[in-house]
Structures are given as structure tokens and as C-alpha cells.
A and B are shown apart, each in its own frame.
Chain A
Amino acid sequence: EIVLTQSPGTLSLSPGDRATLSCRASQSVNSSNLVWYQHKPGQAPRLLIYGSFSRAAGIPDRFSGSGSGTDFTLTISRLEPEDFAVYYCQQFGGSPYTFGQGTRLDIK
């Protein structure tokens, strides 16, 4: 099983700041199989990034993904108030599909 470890667990920032979220895999993941989701309480998770760096439909360009192998990053260039949520990475490269434990992005 591929274990995904996200860091930090919680990130406290202010609107307008830049956020950098990390996802590290226990073994190499094909870049096409790494995804990021945003999750707000009581809502359905929202697909943000697929294939490590491709934005899903309707996702603002302040969200960007990068990385390869075992290290992947989600960057939010300038935080908007609606961006404060929990972010999960997920891999489809090996069964079972696994998620990271999440990074909570809080308003400072």
C-alpha cells in the first residue's frame, strides 16, 4: 500500500498569503495518478488538481500543482477567504487507492 503523508497538518495563514502544501509518497507514484481535493465541512469534496498539475474545470489559476516521484506540492498563490478548508492528496497508482491524512488551512 502506498502511504501518503501530508505536511504540515495545519497551516495558519492570512488572506493574500501564499500557501504551500506537501504530499510525500512512501513509494514512487506516476505523476498522472496524483490528485488534490479541497474539502469543506458538510460539503462534497471538490476536485482541484489531477495528473499532478492539471487544474480541474472551473478551478481558479491561483491553484497549482507540481512534483513527481514521491514528492508533490499544491500551491495556492494568493489565498482568498473561500480557500480555507482541508486539502487531501490521493494516488491512483497502486491498489488500494489511498489518501493523505489532510492539511487543514486555517485563517490566521
Chain B
Amino acid sequence: QVQLQESGPGLVKPSETLSLTCTVSGGSVYSYYWSWIRQPPGRGLEWIGYVFYSGSTTYNPSLKSRVTISVDTSKNQFSLKLTSVTAADTAVYYCARYLHGWFFDYWGQGTLVTVSS
């Protein structure tokens, strides 16, 4: 059974960079796409972007200028960096495996990141 676990700081200061890592267990990052999704408090889900195991990426245009998603096949992990954060970036961040064009089939439980000084 594939499992995903998000990790990273729960508090980030405004204007700084949010960094999260998703560790994949029970399966390999090879041959799959991996994605980040977030949910601000009281709001709906927002797709952030995805990375293929080869390193190629696609991002939500609304976040593209601030987002980098990367993969580390040696550690079976992938990561999210979001620069110049504001309070609007406060959200629960989920990582998920993406079957391209079809669905997100495995998700992490999510991690709350709060942007505050």
C-alpha cells in the first residue's frame, strides 16, 4: 500500500519561502507523477502543480511564478517550495500521487502551514 507523508515547518514568516517534503513509502516515485494540493481554512481545494519522476513539472498558472516542485529519486521524496508567502498561503498542504489525466489516487493526510510573523 502506497503511503505519503508530508513534513516541514508549520509556521513560516511573511515574505519567506515555504518548504515541504513528501516521503513516499510502499512504492517508488519512478514512473509516476506527484502533485501538491492545498486547502486554505474554510475554503476549497486548490491544485498547485505536479512533477514527473524525471523532473519535468507543470504548475497552476496562478502560482507558477512562486512555485518549484522537485523530486529526489534517491530518497523517494518530492518537495514543494513556495516563495514570497503571505497570509493567503496559509493552508493545509497535501501531497498526492497523480495518474496523469485520470486522478489523484493516494494522498497524504496533510500538513497545516501558517504564514504569520
Interface residues in chain A, defined as those with a beta carbon under 8 Å from any beta carbon in chain B = 32-33, 35, 37, 42-47, 50-51, 56, 88, 90, 92, 95-102
User: For B44, what are the chain A residues with a Cβ–Cβ distance below 8 Å?
Assistant: 88, 99-102
Q: How far is the CA of A46 from the CA of B62 in the complex (A)?
A: 26
Assuming the contacts A44-B109, A88-B44, asked whether A96 and B60 have C-beta atoms less than 8 A apart, the reply is yes
Residue-wise interface mask of B (51-77) relative to A, using a CB-CB cutoff of 8 A (1 in contact, 0 not): 000000010111000000000000000
Chain B interface (Cβ < 8 Å from any Cβ of A): 4, 43-47, 58, 60-62, 94, 96, 101-110
In contact, B61 and A42 (Cβ under 8 angstroms) = no
Known A99-B47, A101-B44; judge A43-B109 contact (CB<8 A): yes
Q: Is the CB of A97 within 8 A of B47?
A: yes
The answer to whether B94 and A45 have CB atoms under 8 Å apart is: yes
Contacts of B109 in A (CB 8 A): 42-44
Question: Known interface pairs A98-B47, A99-B46, A100-B44. Does A92 touch B61 (Cβ–Cβ under 8 Å)?
Answer: no
Kindly identify which residue among B47, B60, B62, B107 contacts A44, using a CB–CB cutoff of 8 Å: B107
The secondary structure that dominates the A interface is loop
**A88 and B110 contact, CB distance less than 8 A:** no
Query: Would you call A47 and B47 a contact (CB within 8 A)?
Result: no
A68 to chain B, nearest CB (A): 17
Choose from A46, A51, A95, A96 the contact partner of B102 (Cβ within 8 Å): A51
Give the distance in Å from the alpha carbon of A100 to the alpha carbon of B44 in the complex: 7
Bound-state CA distance A13–B47 (Å) is 30
> A95 CA to B57 CA in the complex, in Å?
13
Q: How far is the CA of A47 from the CA of B96 in the complex (A)?
A: 11
Residue of A nearest to B104 (CB): A47
Apart from the given pairs A47-B103, A51-B102, 14 other A-B contacts in the complex at a CB distance below 8 Å: A32-B101, A33-B101, A37-B104, A44-B4, A45-B45, A45-B104, A90-B45, A92-B101, A95-B60, A96-B61, A97-B60, A99-B45, A99-B47, A102-B44
